[in-house]
Structure 1
Amino acid sequence: MSDVRIRPMVPADVPVAERLCAEAFVDLDRRMLPGSWPAPEPRSASRADTWSERTAHLLATDPGGCWVAEVGDEMAGFATSTVREKLRTLATYAVLPGLQGAGIGTPLLDAALHHGRGCLRGMLSSSSDVRAVRRYRQAGFSLHPQMFLRGTVDRSTIPVVEKVREGSASDIDLMDSLDRRARGAAHGVDHPFMLSRGRLIVSDSSTGSGYAYVDDDGGPALLAADNRLTASRLLWTVLADGPAATTVPHVTAANEWAIDVALAARLDLHTAGYLALRQMAPPTPYLHNGALL
């Protein structure tokens, strides 16, 4: 498409990008989810607000990594990316359903990834969409299949869990250290943002250290630890404190400890998408965040 214009994102673009993203992702779910599953629903108002707040945060911290594609005067796609120390991540990447495959995605992705051109490592969470997967592989990413576990927690399986406490801003140095060990880079400025919008639990004892953020639905939003025992302890705490029906997302084969915990809780195992990595092994013990990685 010859009339595509790629330009830097500005704050006024965030609400438009949210609506575009919601439309693109629900279309993707309709195409990818098994027919026996409930039909996907549009993003709720609260989720839209959370998405917009996170995107505004990324635009503030990494304006050079946030780009918009326009056709005429209308937004046709966008991409947001970050640099954290020597790790670049692609947070969100979407093109309007009717314009996918029209030559918009490649220059848009190139602009976002150029932001981290000096980084040693790269990381993104991909859907199963064949066009996106092909683009990421051609950009040099290794593709590691992701799993998720969903269902109703059997409360009788939950063990007694100790050495887990509520976290606070005083734990950021500890969390950054755990991030570096797991994925080679701290989350840095993302921790205050996540702290302001969700619950944090921490385990820091003689047997190991770790942390987990809990999402709005009561499931794990991000989890990192220095050993599997501590990671399992944190995940059991999230399941114990959360709702009966829950999801444990973003599990790679390197994190079988999470599969073991969730299966023991009687959740069902499924596959969806890929963790795409460049010059790094799958982080472990670690459950990545879909956007903040």
Structure 2
Amino acid sequence: MLLRQVRDTRADAEAVRAVAAAGGGAAEGGPAGGEGEWAGPRGILFQRTTRHLAATDPGGCWLAEDAAGRPVGAALAARREGLWGLALLAVVPQARGKGVGTTLLRRAMAYARGTLRGMVCAPPDPMAARVLRAAGFTLHPLMRMHGTVDASRLATPDGPAIEGGRAHRDLMDSVDRRLRGGAHGRDHEELLRHCRVVVADDLAGSGYCYLDESGGVELLAATSRRIAARLLTSALLSLPPGAAAAIPRLTAEQEWAVDVGLAAGLRLAPGGYLCLRGMRPPAPYLPSAAFL
């Protein structure tokens, strides 16, 4: 087996996508569903994310190849100030049980040296839970919410929440540092290419919420539950009538989000694990699978 860094190229992004689609992974870095979902817009977004991480964190992004040069495993990890995060760990089925995943995880975790905290969003997979627990992570069960928004059931937001952009990056980085000990930095630039962001900043606190084109909450961070609920409500109300919405990756600490989702008529279901090291679940906070 050959282990090499993932390059910021279309070919390497496609190789990582192919491995993730075939093997799933210990981190929830790609779209749910079958090959059709991976080949569609969500799969294209995954490849762009892979190239972004390969460019910003080459030391955390690794591809395993067999003797014939075929990709059999991949790991994508990022370091943001004092926080290390694993966005993907995947091995194709025919290469499992041969130490590929263990080797990739060891190499990705070596990139965590010098950081104090770690975060992984893992799918509801027993193997993923076992691997990450063995690596020293505390597992926090996640919930998810999905369905069609009933805007008539949502209360009017208690204050302003505006369309954000690059001008709000300093504000968003400040919120990040307060909640998770590290700013997203250049990740915000990448998120703004694919998502809308709603921002709030007043005496009640500060925060932001990214909403993707399919109505999913990609990332939300706020300094108070009041601001978080306002942002989530405003984001859901901004969707077209009858649109589907999704609020993934809810820990038990995010009851404010559960309340907003239930009020909007969304359904609640189990959804994997938030795996943490050196930190408690940040709140109010809804992590991104890829950017954590």
- Residue matched to 1:6: 3
- Residue matched to 1:209: 206
- Residue matched to 2:263: 264
Superposed structure 1 runs of 4+ greater than 4 Å apart? 38-41
8 Å CA contact retained: 1:144, 1:252: yes
- Residue matched to 1:222: 219
1:157 aligned onto 2:157: no
- Residue matched to 1:250: 249
- Residue matched to 1:97: 93
Secondary structure of the 1:254 match is coil
In structure 2, how many angstroms separate the alpha carbons of the residues matched to 1:290 and 1:231? Answer: 19
Number of residue pairs the alignment of both structures matches:
282
- Residue matched to 1:136: 132
In structure 1, how many angstroms separate the alpha carbons of the residues matched to 2:148 and 2:41? Answer: 23
- Residue matched to 1:119: 115
In structure 1, how many angstroms separate the alpha carbons of the residues matched to 2:128 and 2:97? Answer: 10
- Residue matched to 1:193: 190
In structure 1, how many angstroms separate the alpha carbons of the residues matched to 2:244 and 2:13? Answer: 32
- Shift of residue 41 of structure 1? 5.0
Secondary structure of the 1:145 match is strand
RMSD: 2.0
- Shift of residue 196 of structure 1? 2.2
1:54 aligned onto 2:53: no
Q: Percent identity?
A: 44
1:108 aligned onto 2:107: no
In the superposition, relative to structure 1, how do residues 40 and 144 fare at CA in structure 2: closer, same or farther (>3 Å)? farther
In the superposition, relative to structure 1, how do residues 251 and 186 fare at CA in structure 2: closer, same or farther (>3 Å)? same
Report the residue type matching 1:51 in the other structure.
F
8 Å CA contact retained: 1:200, 1:212: yes
- Residue matched to 2:232: 235
1:162-218 Cα shifts (integer Å, max 9, x gaps): 411010111111101100111111101111111122211101112221101111212
1:177 aligned onto 2:174: yes
- Residue matched to 2:273: 274
User: Gaps spanning 5+ residues in structure 1: where?
Assistant: none
In structure 2, how many angstroms separate the alpha carbons of the residues matched to 1:114 and 1:174? Answer: 31
